Chains A and B, each alone.
Chain A
Amino acid sequence: MEVARFWRTTGQRYQLVGEICPSCGEKIFPPRDVCPACDKEAKTPYTFSGKGEVYSYSTIYSAPEGFEKYAPYTVALVRLAEGPLVTAQLTDVDARDVKVGMPVEMVTRVLREDGERGMVVYGYKFRPQQLQTAS
């Protein structure tokens, strides 16, 4: 993966920074600069909570180049609490326990490693929501 491409998307991949539309209040992830709800320009940053639930999921047995060593792994569409859907891997869960509607939360993990001398790409994955501990 190219350094510049990696660098310019760190905000969204490390912290789920998307946008909020100043015109209609729509919360947008991934960031896309034109609001999908009202078509006005939307460039105000907004950090998502990382909480959501599984909308759909699939376990991949035949992986693309660069991901073969991780197979099988489970991917999902996650409905974020603020509204948008996001595509990501699930982690810290047995594939057989995943269900539509399962509450999940964002964590930062290694997405891929480009060989011994290449980049290690980090980004968001989602795991089952941990029980709230008393503070």
Chain B
Amino acid sequence: MRDVSIIGIGQVKVGEHWDKSLRELGYYALRAAMQDARIERIDALFVGNMLSGELTGQEHLGAIIADFAGLKGVEAVKVEAACGSGAAALRMGHIAVAGGMADVVACIGVEKMTDKQNASVTSALAMAADNDYEALHGLSFVSINALLMRRYMHEHGYKKEDFAPFAINAHANAVNNPYAMFQAPVTQKQFAEAKMIADPINLLDSSPIADGAACVILAPTSIAKEFTDKPVRIRASAIATDTVAVHDRRDPLFLEGGAISAQKAYAMAGVGPHDIDLFELHDAFTIMSALSLEAAGFAPRGKGVALALDGEIGLGGRIPITTMGGLKARGHPVGATGMYQIVEVATQLRGEAGANQIQDARLGMAQNIGGSGATVVTTILEGP
């Protein structure tokens, strides 16, 4: 197996891009990453995306984006794993380069969500859940997370406002990220007064739907220096799955898929949670931040929220999370999100995070979650 590095990164600002199509967004991120890596050709393209068919009527994304980017004849396929599609595309690229089947590979995450009305997007997102036994009963994806949050509060004795630090931290960090959708802070008071979506989840527990695209270029580490002075090594990538429906889990409050994928990644990299300098987690909802911290071993069961309340998730804390705004404030273009996380960790490890730079960051981790924990992708990167 060959060692693999990220030799280029690119992203477009997350937001409501009414003037840009899905293929344009994907191409802009790809072009930025190819320019960053100073390359003009790639051997293969993996496109992470969840909802192009449902929301834009377009499938066959591998060919669509390769065609639009002028990459005639290139191998290109779409990778889908609900909201975990982005990091799943990276995992496929990692396998291709590590296995020697390709040398220079582009992995894109792209999503176009804002052409449709709210209820249509809510229904489309519910496809990440069990259609026959969750969505058919009128459950939105938000409400499934709300069921987890209510039970978490009940079992571990937290109040609703205890979840506010996750949102406040994410927004504070997004202020300095030019690619973030919301470059504005939020306060405890705003959190307390936010509109309820699915009780107890309110608007400020929730990440916004958005358009976006991000991309990384991979190459064998042995030749990475030919392209960049700052290659970022992929120390580990791992995908694990769990039951799609929350009701099928023995213990709904423990993300077993998250724990398995984190353990696989730690084993592959030969490190543990204490070695990780920053953690880009999947804060689609505040409750997911807590469950991800616990599954990945940064907090004991029921203590994920306490970690945030203790101020340990900030840029100077024990384990900084959502350092560029997270899903909450950078925005959550679902199939693109996992690739934004990878680009953000790489940005930190290259020392290019500006005001949000984690000092001496060497190892960074990302955890991208599909559905309410049915697919979990954990990636560990090492800086130059």
Contact = CB atoms under 8 A, between A and B. Distances in A.
Interface of A: 1, 5, 9, 30, 32, 36, 55-68, 70, 73, 75-77, 84-89, 95, 100, 111-112, 121, 123
B245 A60 contact: no
A75 B150 contact: no
B311 interface: no
A56 B138 contact: no
B246 A64 contact: no
A52 B120 CA distance: 33
Interface in B237-262: 243, 245-249, 252
B116 to A, nearest CB: 10
B247 A84 contact: yes
Given A76-B147, A100-B150, A64 B199 contact: no
Interface in B285-316: none
Given A61-B198, A75-B139, A111-B136, 7 more contacts: A56-B151, A57-B147, A57-B150, A61-B197, A62-B197, A65-B123, A86-B247
A55 B247 CA distance: 10
A12 to B, nearest CB: 8
Interface in B127-163: 130, 132-140, 142-144, 146-148, 150-151, 154
A100 B153 CA distance: 11
A30 B133 contact: yes
B58 interface: no
B29 interface: no
Q: How large is the interface on B (under 10, 10 to 19, 20 to 34, 35 or more residues)?
A: 35 or more
A34 B282 CA distance: 31
Interface of B: 118-120, 122-123, 126, 130, 132-140, 142-144, 146-148, 150-151, 154, 195-201, 243, 245-249, 252
Contact of B198 (A60, A68, A111): A60
Contacts of A100: 150-151, 154
A67 B126 CA distance: 13
A13 B198 CA distance: 24
Contact of A55 (B119, B138, B143, B151): B151
Nearest to A112: B138
B246 A87 contact: yes
Contacts of A88: 137
Contact of B132 (A9, A56, A64): A9
B248 A36 contact: yes
A38 B123 CA distance: 34
A57 B199 CA distance: 8
Nearest to B140: A64
Sort A-B residue pairs by CB-CB distance and give the 10 closest, nearest first: A58-B146, A85-B247, A56-B151, A65-B123, A64-B123, A59-B199, A56-B147, A67-B138, A65-B119, A64-B122
B74 to A, nearest CB: 37
A13 to B, nearest CB: 8
Given A59-B198, A123-B137, A75 B120 contact: no
